[in-house]
Amino acid sequence: ERKGYPLNMQIAIAGNIGSGKTTLTTMLAERYGWQPKFESVDYNPYLEDYYRDIQRWSFAMEVFFLKERFKALLDIQKTSHNTIQDRSIYEGVFVFTANNYAMGNLNERDYSTYMELFEQMTREIEMPDLMIFLRSSVAHLVQNIEKRGRNYEQKIPIEYLENINRRYDDFTAKQYKGRVLTIDVDKLDFQHRPKDFGLITDKIDRELFGLF
């Protein structure tokens, strides 16, 4: 970690599926010497059941994700390193779970139990020092999803991506109480163009370290 930079900082990268979160998390971790934290892709015991019967298993599935994200945050708070996290507990709840509820996959009773659990958990954790939101049009997301060619992602309906995009805008503008740096990524290729990556790091430096 660089001299003179604050310690124990927690940065989160937010954004829709295909917005470039994981790539940017990796690149920023390398650039600043931050410790990257990725969403656990370990075995989820509910996944198969969930896809067989979404309404029956949505609550169990969402609670499992919440538990995993909470566990990751408790680990982050124990560390003395600066960390950068690919997706936060907050968007998991306000964007993805809220969308599942709106689609009728969670009933009123389950959703209110879930939200109460989330509110209890968030009393025990600190908000990220900065959330970097990668804002992207649906056309750009689709292009990225096709490019990386993950089978299970190819069937994601356009309407689903549009809904998630709307929820992200609402989440970053109204629901999330922490600091947000929004970066429009449609015209950027930060993975292959150093100048584009430089634009992002300049904004982060300004935001975190008051440089420039």
CB-count burial class (<10 Å; 0-12, 13-18, 19+) for 195:
exposed
Cβ pair 37, 83 in contact under 8 A: yes
Tracing tokens 């059941």 back to the chain, one arrives at 49
Q: Rounded distance, CA 167 to CA 95, Å?
A: 5
Cβ pair 117, 108 in contact under 8 A: no
Of the listed 49, 75, 86, 205, which one is catalytic?
86
What would you report as the CA-atom Rg of the chain, rounded to the nearest whole angstrom?
Answer: 17
Does 170 qualify as catalytic in the annotation? no
Cβ pair 37, 109 in contact under 8 A: no
Q: Rounded distance, CA 114 to CA 96, Å?
A: 13
Q: State how beta strands 83-86 and 180-184 pair.
A: unpaired
Q: H or E segment at 204?
A: helix 194-209
Q: Which residue numbers are catalytic?
A: 86
